[in-house]
Chain A
């Protein structure tokens, strides 16, 4: 069965620091990859997605993620975080042979200190 690992459960950064959140998945076939964000008190929102083409994808609010197939990874990055980026971030994988399901990681809580 597919699984998704997010190794950083809690991350604390100061404003303007760079961010990288790790995401690894276990599945050898074709995948679609996603990062979701949940701001305090709000819905889960799609941050960015990858399904083909350029492995470096850009999302909203200056976030980007790089798909490295050989490492089964899809790490999320932002060069300079803001206080408003405080949220919980979830990586998710859709394996193409389980075409209806998204499997989520356990999430990373990011706290950005002003």
Chain B
């Protein structure tokens, strides 16, 4: 069966420090991968998605970047964190096919606090 792993679960980082959040999927190949940020009262905002290795689409201008160095690995990064980057970050995957008939499967999330 497919599983998704996301780490770390919580992270406290100072302003200006770098960031690397990792997400990996097991039990499937060529998944579509997504990074979302969840903010209270604002739902889930799609940040990046990837349909293949090295293919990244950015949905919103921001201080963050994403990379997909391997088929089932998706990384969210920043060179210098801002206070506004604090939030709850969720990774998700869906099967590689047109249309999201079955929805996404979400990871457990990372609570990032920038201080």
A residues with a Cβ closer than 8 A to B are: 4, 6, 9, 32, 34, 36, 43-44, 46, 49, 51, 90, 92, 94, 96, 99-107
Does A94 lie within 8 Å of B99, measured CB to CB? Answer: yes
Does A100 lie within 8 Å of B49, measured CB to CB? Answer: yes
Give chain B interface residues in 54-105, CB to chain A under 8 Å.
Answer: 59, 90, 94, 98-104
Contact with A along B13-50 (1 / 0, CB 8 A): 00000000000000000001010100001111110010
B residues with a Cβ closer than 8 A to A are: 32, 34, 36, 41-46, 49, 51, 59, 90, 94, 98-104, 106-109
A102, chain B: closest CB distance, angstroms:
6
Supposing A44-B90, A94-B99 touch, asked if A103 and B106 sit within 8 A by C-beta, the answer is: no
Complex partner residue of A102 from B41, B46, B109, CB under 8 angstroms: B46
Closest to A46 in B: B103
Does A99 lie within 8 Å of B90, measured CB to CB? Answer: no
Does A102 lie within 8 Å of B100, measured CB to CB? Answer: yes
Does A107 lie within 8 Å of B43, measured CB to CB? Answer: yes
Complex partner residue of B99 from A32, A34, A104, CB under 8 angstroms: A32
Does B99 lie within 8 Å of A96, measured CB to CB? Answer: yes
Q: How far is the CA of A99 from the CA of B102 in the complex (A)?
A: 12
Complex partner residue of A44 from B94, B101, B106, CB under 8 angstroms: B106
Q: Which residues of A contact B49 (CB under 8 A)?
A: 100-101
What are 24 A-B contacts with C-beta separation under 8 Å? Answer: A4-B43, A6-B43, A43-B108, A43-B109, A46-B102, A49-B103, A90-B44, A92-B44, A92-B103, A94-B100, A99-B99, A100-B51, A100-B100, A101-B34, A101-B59, A101-B100, A102-B34, A102-B46, A102-B103, A102-B104, A103-B46, A104-B44, A104-B45, A107-B43
Closest to A104 in B: B44
